[in-house]
Structure 1
Amino acid sequence: MAERAVIERMVANEADMAYRRRVITIFEWLDPQDDDRILDGGCGRGFYLKFIRHTCSAELAGAELDYPVIEVARATLNGEPGITLVNASLYGLPFPDGHFDKAILSEVLEHVPDDVAALECVRRVVRPGGLIAITVPNANYPFWWDPINKTLETAFNTHIQRGVLAGIWANHVRLYTPDELRSAVEGAGLEVLAERAFTHHSFPFIHNIVYGFGKTALEAGVLPQNVAAAADRFNVEGERGGALNPVNIGLRLFEWFDRRNVMDEPAGRATVNLCVLARVPTA
């Protein structure tokens, strides 16, 4: 596995503390190697592909259904060797059976209508004995992560799925309980090797701040260059500004609230994410 210090350096300017743990978990579980073939299903803008390429020369592929998003990935990863990007859904992956050694499904299953069918399609393209690292949002999420939706769910049995106030429910079909995630994985014929849940403590409204406002401003190009550089996930080793950079001030505040979190919280505790490491059966 890439040294923990290298991984932490890659996500040092990441304001979403749960995302930091997702990256660390995926690297820990999949341990990318130079001779691996790795699929990122629902790769988005290609963050995981960028991070893996930064640490090894594995053969990489990313599949993303949203065409404008995959075009961002193409532009950002342009020139990176050994990365194939396809505009495709999980249900129609254009790869041979058993082509990959490992796969990533991070914050993807909650978007698809039939999660078991999607997992079956990913299973098809991963070889027997191959690994799939899965992360999803927890239905039992902490109040301060998304106070608006937690209040709406508790008081009115509803939630916001679109816009800057969507929070943890943004464009999601469902959130998961541990039993529901395990059931979907096993229902697709996969073996559960490990489970993990993390990020209990958080700065109030952090999801809305980071994704509802920060991400929107960054992608709109309205932030000063030094602020944008400090906030850019793709800025793996570049200049991230000094201690007085507004982003870095915010990061220190978020990290202070995050300091009591651990990589695997006790069962039943409210957390942002649930994770499963699954294996394709060998027989």
Structure 2
Amino acid sequence: MAERPLGELLRHARQRLAGAGIADAAFDARLLVEHFSGTTRSDAIASPDRPVAQVAEIEAALDRRIAGEPVHRILGYRDFYGMRLSLSTETLEPRPDTETLVDAVLPFVHATAVRESVCRILDLGTGTGAIALALVTQEPKAEAIGVDVSEDALATAAANAEALGVSSRFSAKKSNWFAEIQGRHHLIVSNPPYISTSEIDDLQNEVRNFDPRRALDGGPDGLEPYRMIASGAGRHLEEGGLIGLEIGHDQRHDVTVIFEQAGYHLSAHYKDLGGNDRVLVFSC
């Protein structure tokens, strides 16, 4: 395809997406055009007549977005807690709600690092490594193991750690929950699958069709991963340690009961930016 001016291409992309009913058409159009053309918002303002050669790539990306593929899947990355994390087919997109979990446990990580000269973190179902990597980038004395059953996810997490320069303090470990884990940790964190099996087909197309199912499916009632964590955490948690969990908006009571029955105490709970229950923190 022939070159097109940047400003014209941005208008065209926005119109295509808006015409297809994409809710954030202007934002998504800008992300896609900038990514595939190697331009910035400043370029669009200062040089709208700048010729763009990557028209075919941009049109193909617009086709994918119109077909329902999430914009960050097309870009291949998502920003989280100030980090740019690569995605893969077997990782969830790290979303802003999960930053609530990082905020909830980070003061404990800092305090433990000061007291013990290290804070050992275990991230169950690490995916892109988002939670663990956010914590180790924020605390230089933190060390983390990111656990997943997916080789693809583990490779993605390890690559993200390398890109962030924290590979010496992050290791990716294949394990079904605690099965292959040794030793004790000051903090166990997880954003586990928490959607009930029967509800997955009712999710938005962008989630149902593009997020990995095993990262969504929490079993018949959506609580099975919490039972696994509650039953196994005691063998891997230091005395005085914490467990930080992301939950579904209506799961606070049920998850609290599961952990209290396993001998833990709910020490804090947090809401996300939408005002929904999102994070529970348990102590021994």
Q: TM-score, normalised by structure 2?
A: 0.50
Counterpart residue identity of residue 58, structure 1: A
Aligned to 2:126: 43
Cα distance in 2, alignment partners of residues 45 and 9 from structure 1: 13
1:95-134 equivalent positions in 2, closer than 5 A: 95-96=182-183, 99-108=184-193, 111-113=217-219, 114=224, 115-134=226-245
What does the per-residue CA deviation read over 1:221-257, in whole Å, with 9 as the maximum and x for residues that have no partner?
xxxxxxxxxxxxxxxxxxxxxxxxxxxxxxxxxxxxx
1:199 is paired with a residue of what secondary structure? Answer: coil
Counterpart residue identity of residue 143, structure 2: E
Counterpart residue identity of residue 48, structure 1: I
Contact 2:128 2:154 (8 Å CA) reproduced: yes
What does the per-residue CA deviation read over 1:30-75, in whole Å, with 9 as the maximum and x for residues that have no partner?
4462511111111111112222222223221111112211111122
Give the structure with the higher percent strand: 2
Cα distance in 2, alignment partners of residues 109 and 126 from structure 1: 22
Unaligned stretches of 5+ residues in structure 1 = 1-7, 140-175, 201-264, 266-270
Cα distance in 2, alignment partners of residues 15 and 74 from structure 1: 15
Contact 1:116 1:187 (8 Å CA) reproduced: no
1:1-283 equivalent positions in 2, closer than 5 A: 10=82, 16-31=95-110, 33=113, 34-55=117-138, 56-78=140-162, 80-96=167-183, 99-108=184-193, 111-113=217-219, 114=224, 115-139=226-250, 176=251, 178-200=252-274, 265=275, 271=276, 273-280=277-284
Cα distance in 2, alignment partners of residues 133 and 276 from structure 1: 6
Offset at residue 180 of structure 1 (A): 0.7
1:40 is paired with a residue of what secondary structure? Answer: strand
Cα distance in 1, alignment partners of residues 81 and 149 from structure 2: 30
Is the alpha carbon distance of 1:21 and 1:73 closer, same or farther for their aligned partners in structure 2, counting shifts above 3 Å? same
Offset at residue 186 of structure 1 (A): 1.2
Offset at residue 88 of structure 1 (A): 0.8
Give the structure with the higher percent helix: 2
Cα distance in 2, alignment partners of residues 68 and 15 from structure 1: 16
1:131 is paired with a residue of what secondary structure? Answer: strand
Is the alpha carbon distance of 1:92 and 1:44 closer, same or farther for their aligned partners in structure 2, counting shifts above 3 Å? same
What does the per-residue CA deviation read over 1:99-135, in whole Å, with 9 as the maximum and x for residues that have no partner?
1111111244554443323322123211222111111
Counterpart residue identity of residue 104, structure 1: V
Q: How many residues align?
A: 164
Q: TM-score, normalised by structure 1?
A: 0.50
Contact 2:148 2:174 (8 Å CA) reproduced: yes
Cα distance in 2, alignment partners of residues 41 and 9 from structure 1: 18
Contact 1:41 1:103 (8 Å CA) reproduced: yes
Offset at residue 15 of structure 1 (A): 9.2
Cα distance in 2, alignment partners of residues 82 and 15 from structure 1: 20
Is the alpha carbon distance of 1:105 and 1:193 closer, same or farther for their aligned partners in structure 2, counting shifts above 3 Å? same
Unaligned stretches of 5+ residues in structure 2 = 1-79, 86-92, 196-216
Cα distance in 2, alignment partners of residues 26 and 108 from structure 1: 20
Aligned to 1:227: none
Is the alpha carbon distance of 1:12 and 1:92 closer, same or farther for their aligned partners in structure 2, counting shifts above 3 Å? closer
Offset at residue 189 of structure 1 (A): 2.0
**% identical equivalent positions:** 15
Offset at residue 21 of structure 1 (A): 2.7
